[in-house]
Amino acid sequence: MSEVLLIHPPVSFNRLTKGGYDNIPPLGILYLAATLEKNDIPVRILDVLDASMTIEDIISYIGNNDIAVVGISATTPQIRTSMEIAKTIKSRFGDKIHIGIGNCHISADPSLIERYPYFDFGVTSEAEITFLEIVQRILRGERVRGVFEGVPVKNLDEIPFPAWHLVDMKKYVEKGMDFYPTLLTRGCPFQCVFCSRMGVSRVVRARSGKNVCDEIEQWIDQFNGRILFQDDSFTIKRRAVLDFCDEVIRRKLDIWWWAGGVRFDLIDKDLLDRMVKAGCAGFCLGIESGSERVRNEIVKKGVTDKEIFDGLKLISRYPIDIQISLVMGLPTETKDEMIQTANLPRKLLDAGFDNIAIAAITPTVPLPGAELFRQAIEEGIIDADIIDRYIRGELGDGFRDNWPIYVPKGVTKDELLEIRRKGYLAFYFSPKYLWKRLKSDILSYTRLKKDVSEAFSLIRSGRSRASFS
C-alpha cells in the first residue's frame, strides 16, 4: 500500500547555519502520524531539522519507497528549505506524488501555494482531521488542490499518543533531550502583538488527567520522571490542571515536570499547592516588557506590574524555578523603556526573587501571522515581499541574523542589541546568580559545560547559542 511521508525540514541545509532546537521532537508531526496509523494508513517520518540529510538524500529515500503523499511541516524559518524540497520532488516525480504543507507559515500565508505551485495543497491550523481526509481522498485516486482550513479536534483524548516508534528517540537524547515532551492543552485566546502562532486554534481544549498520565507513565523510567509541557498557556484551564495533578497524586507518580507557558493572572495559591504536590518544578512566565505601558498598550498582554510582583512573591514561597520572557523593540518603545526591560531580570534578582533560573530577552521579530508583521510592512520596516525574498535566498542562508528585527524610531539596531547584552550580563554575571549556578553545576559536568558555553556566547554576542535572534 502507498505510504505517507511527513518531513520536518531544517532551517538551512548548511549545517553551519542550522536553526537550533534539533533535540526537540516535532510533536505535531508525531500526532499526525499516529492519527494516520489509527486509520490504517502507512506513514513514515523524516525529522531532518538538524540538516542530517541533503535534498538528494530525501529524494533517494522517496524513490526507494512507495510514497503517495509528502507532507511538509514548516514554520517561517523553515519555509525556504520546504520550498527547495517541494520543488525538487515535483521536478523528479511530477504529479505521481501529492505534496502538502502545514503548520504556522501556511496558516499565516495561505496564498503561498498559488505563488509556488510545487505544493498541491496546504492545511491551516490543526491538521489531524483535515489532513486525514485529504490523504484518504488521494489514496482513492482523487487529485487534490488548494488550501484547506484545519478542523480542530474537540476531544483531545481521542487523539492517539504520538507515534514515537517512527523516529529515533535515542538521537534526541544524545543531542541533549533529558525530558519527555507532551501537552495538556491546545489553543490560546490571547492576541499578543508579536505572536505568530496562526497554526494554533483560539479555542482552548484540554486533555483529561487520566489521558495525560496514561501517556507519560510509559516514559517515566527512560527520562527519570522528567516531563516538559509545551502548552502555550498551561494554566488557562484551571480545572484541567487540577485534574492532572490529582491523577498524578492518586497514582503516586514520581515525576518532575516543567510547564512551558504560564500567565501571572492565571495562578493562585491553591493551584500552586496542588502543582507542587504533583511534582511541578518550574514554568515559564511571559512578562514581555519592563514597561507597563508597552506591555499592555502595545503587546496587549493585560498584566499589570502589581500582578507580576504579587505573582513572583507567591511563587517564591515554593521550590519552583522559573523562566521569565521579555521582548525588546516594540512599536513606540523608547530607549529608556528598552533599558527598563533589559534591567528587569537583575532588578527582580536583587529584590529577592532568586528562583529566576532563566531570563530570556528577545528582540522583536515580525513574523507572518502576527499583528506586528502587518504593522512593520505599513511602516516600511520590512518589505511587503519579504517572505518571497527569504525563499529566494536574497536575505542570506538561514534565518538567524538574516530575517530583520523590529527597531522602533529613535533607536538603532546596534543600540538595541547592546542594551540587551548589558541586561544579560547584569543578570547572568551577578554574584548571586553565579553562586547559585555553580552550586547546581558542580554536581553535573554536562550542565557545567553547557553553562560555560552559554556564558561565552552571552559575553561575545549578547545572546544564547540556541536563540533564533
**pLDDT tens, position by position, 321-342:** 999 999 999 999 999 999 999 9
* Mean predicted confidence (pLDDT) in 368-372: 92
**Three cell numbers written together for 340:** 527598563
- Residue 292, sorted as left (phi over 0), alpha (psi -120 to 50) or beta, turns out to be alpha
Q: Which of 34-38, 77-81, 103-107, 441-445 has the lowest mean pLDDT?
A: 441-445
40: Cβ–Cβ under 8 A, 6 or more apart, which residues?
A: none
3-state secondary structure of 181: strand
- What percent of the chain is predicted at pLDDT more than 70? 91
* Element housing 115 (H / E): helix 112-115
Distance CA 175, CA 122 (A): 31
Averaged pLDDT for residues 417-439: 90
Cα 237 to its chain centre, rounded Å, is 20
Give residue 334's pLDDT: 97
Q: What is the pLDDT of residue 220?
A: 97
Please give the pLDDT value at position 175: 87
Comparing CA positions, the residue from 463, 351, 363, 440 lying closest to residue 405 is 363
436-461 mean pLDDT:
59
Dist. CA 211–CA 229, nearest whole Å: 14
Selected from 3.60.21.10, 3.90.1280.10, 3.40.1190.20, 3.20.20.70, the CATH number assigned to the domain covering 156-461 reads 3.20.20.70
Q: What is the structure's pLDDT at 469?
A: 44
Percent of the chain with pLDDT over 90: 82
Domain boundaries, the chain: 3-149, 156-461
Residue 444: pLDDT above 70?
no
pLDDT at 305 > cutoff 50? yes
- The mean per-residue pLDDT over the stretch 417-443 comes to 85
380/369 Cα distance (integer angstroms): 17
CB atoms near residue 104 (< 10 Å)? 25
Q: How far is CA 377 from CA 383, 388, 410, 457, in A?
A: 6, 14, 18, 32
Q: For residue range 86-131, list pLDDT tens digits in order.
A: 999 999 999 999 999 999 999 999 999 999 999 999 999 999 999 9
Q: Residue 466 — very low, low, confident or very high, per pLDDT cuts 50/70/90?
A: very low
Confidence at 19, pLDDT banded by 50, 70, 90: very low
Phi and psi angles of residue 69, each rounded to the nearest 5 degrees, phi first = -135, 135
d(CA 329, CA 338): 7
Fold of 3-149: Rossmann fold (3.40.50)
Can you state the angle between helices 413-428 and 431-441, rounded to 10 degrees?
Answer: 60
**What per-residue string of b and e applies to 371-405 under the rule 16 or more CB within 10 Å gives b?**
bbbeebeeeebbeeebbbebbeeebeebbbebbbb
The pLDDT-based confidence of 445 (bands split at 50, 70, 90) is very low
CA 350 to centroid of chain Cα atoms: 30
For the entire predicted model, the pTM comes to 0.92
Q: Judge whether 3-149 and 156-461 match in fold.
A: no
372 contacts 333 by C-beta, under 8 angstroms:
no
Report residue 343 as a C-alpha cell.
Answer: 534591567
Q: How confident is the model at residue 437 (pLDDT cuts 50, 70, 90)?
A: confident
According to the model, what pLDDT value does residue 455 have? 55
Q: Is the pLDDT of residue 17 over 70?
A: no
pLDDT tens readout for residues 265-288: 999 999 999 999 999 999 999 999
Judged against a pLDDT cut of 50, whether residue 18 lies above it is answered with: no
